Amino acid sequence: MVNVIGLGYIGLPTALMLAANGVEVVGTDYNGNVVEELNHSRVTFQEDGLLELYRRAVEKGIRFTTEYRKADMYVISVPTPYDEFSKKVDASYVERAVESVLSVCPPEAVLIIESTISPGTIDRHVRPIVERADKKVHLVHAPERIIPGNMIYELEHNNRTIGCDDREVGERVRAVYASFCKSEITVTDIRTAEMTKVVENTYRDINIAFANELAKICRKDGLDVYEIIRIANKHPRVNILTPGPGVGGHCISVDPWFLVGDYPGLANIILAARKINDSMPEFVLERVYGICKERGVDISRVGFYGMTYKEDVDDIRQSPTLQLIHNMEKHLCGHMVKFYDPYVEKDITPNQYHSLDAFLEQVDLVVIMVGHTQIRENLEKLEGKLVLDTRKVADCPDWYTL
Ligand code: SAJ
Which atom of ligand 1 is nearest to 116's Cα?
40
Q: Average of pLDDT values for 328-356?
A: 88
Percent of the chain with pLDDT over 90: 92
57-114 pLDDT, tens digit each = 999 999 999 999 999 999 999 999 887 777 788 899 999 999 999 999 999 999 999 9
The predicted structure's pLDDT at residue 88: 80
Ligand 1: residue whose CA is nearest its atom 28: 201
CATH architecture of 201-401: 3-Layer(aba) Sandwich (3.40)
Q: Is 24 helix (H, G, I), strand (E, B) or coil?
A: coil
Domains of the chain, by residue range, sit at: 2-192, 201-401
Give the position, in ligand 1's atom list, of the atom nearest the Cα of 144.
35
For 231-235, 262-266, 268-272, 368-372, which range has the lowest pLDDT when averaged over its residues? Answer: 262-266
Residues carrying an active site annotation:
197, 251
Protein residue with its CA nearest to atom 4 in ligand 1: 242
2-192, CATH topology level: Rossmann fold (3.40.50)
Identify the residue whose C-alpha is closest to ligand 1 atom 19.
147
Relative to the CA of 201, which ligand 1 atom is closest?
A: 31
Mean pLDDT along residues 352-374: 98
Residues with CB under 6 A from ligand 1: 116, 144-148, 200-201, 204, 208, 241-242, 244, 247-249, 251-252, 309-310
29 Cβ contact list (under 8 Å, min separation 6):
5, 6, 7, 8, 11, 35, 64, 66
Q: How many CA atoms lie within 13 A of 226 on its CB side?
A: 13
Instruction: Tell me what pLDDT residue 333 has.
Output: 63
Q: Distance between CA atoms of 354 and 334, rounded to whole angstroms?
A: 18
Q: What is the pLDDT of residue 334?
A: 62
Task: Tell me, in angstroms, the distance from the centre of ligand 1 to residue 354's CA.
Answer: 26
**Is residue 332 predicted with pLDDT exceeding 70?**
no
Q: What percent of the chain has pLDDT over 70?
A: 99
pLDDT in tens, 121-152: 999 999 999 999 989 999 999 999 999 999 99
Q: What is the DSSP letter of 105?
A: P
Is residue 56 scored above 90 in pLDDT? yes
Strand locations in 232-319 (E): 302-305
Q: Determine the residue type at 63.
A: R
266 CA from centroid of ligand 1 (Å): 24
Identical fold, 2-192 and 201-401: yes
